[in-house]
Amino acid sequence: MKIRTMLFFGVLTILLAACSSDSVEVVDLNRVLDVMADTLDQTQAKMGSEFEGNSEDPVVRQEYMEQFNVLYAENLNAAKLMSTPVGTSVQSDGSISGFMDPNQNMTMDSGEKQIFIVEIDAERNRLIATDTQHGYHRDHGFSMAGLAAGMLIGHLLSRQRSAGISGSRFSNMQMSPKNYHSSAVQSAKTSARAKAGSGSFSQGK
């Protein structure tokens, strides 16, 4: 009777794990980059005229960087990037970090995980997004047309150089295929099932 009970709960655990694995999410880097490119264009359209004549003021530069960061997060959430709200933050090395932000305070609190970063490869004129949970990479060309958008890119590149990051960091980075996302989700679900199954058997020993 005890063995049957253990087997029943073991099978139940596997079934529950399989059901929960259906909700496994993998961030779509194509959408991350499309939304960032659109946000740069939107920033130029909204702030370009206001920025004229103030481009050398560091306070103004910081203000516009903060406005861009907030707008980027808003646009990612409007595009329903993930089922849980995401936040973004500009890092000291010039990258932009995206993280799960269920309380929407734009701060990566304890227990909230980073899901992607976006970096600038200036030598190849592209943005590069990395899935920090699964290691995928995607790239997207960008334009520095317009003073406000150019300032934002320049600000990030300045931080990047100060952090000692050179173009060689990106030269051998392998990009995932454009249609990688559906197979990435399936791979994550398979991995989640395997881990759950392994855990259930170890509990039965």
Tell me if 182 is assigned to some domain: no
Contact 159, 115 (CB under 8 A): no
Tell me: pLDDT of 18 over 60. no
Tens of pLDDT, residues 162-195 = 999 998 999 999 999 999 999 999 999 998 888 8
Judge whether 181 and 25 are in contact, CB under 8 Å. Answer: no
Contact 66, 48 (CB under 8 A): no
**Residue 132, in any domain of the structure:** yes
Distance CA 69, CA 100 (A): 15
Q: Which of 186, 191, 27, 192 is nearest to 117 (CA)?
A: 27
**Domain-located, residue 54:** yes
pLDDT at 8 over 60: no
Report if residue 194 sits inside a domain: no
Judge whether 153 and 65 are in contact, CB under 8 Å: no
Q: What is the C-alpha to C-alpha distance for residues 13 and 109, in angstroms, rounded to an integer?
A: 30
User: Tokens 């934002």 label which residue?
Assistant: 152
Which tokens is 133 given?
């949970």
140 band by pLDDT with thresholds 50, 70 and 90? very high
User: Per the domain annotation, does 9 fall within a domain?
Assistant: no
Query: Does some domain include residue 201?
Result: no
Does 60 score more than 90 pLDDT? no
In a domain, 81, yes or no: yes
Secondary structure string (H, E, C) spanning 133-163: CCCCEEEEECCCCCHHHHHHHHHHHHHHHHC
Comparison of pLDDT for 164 and 147, the residue scoring more: 164
Structural domains counted in the chain: 1
Tokens of 87: 């936040």
User: Would you say 184 and 136 are in contact if contact means Cβ atoms under 8 Å apart?
Assistant: yes
Domain range for 107: 27-177
Q: Is 7 a domain residue? A: no
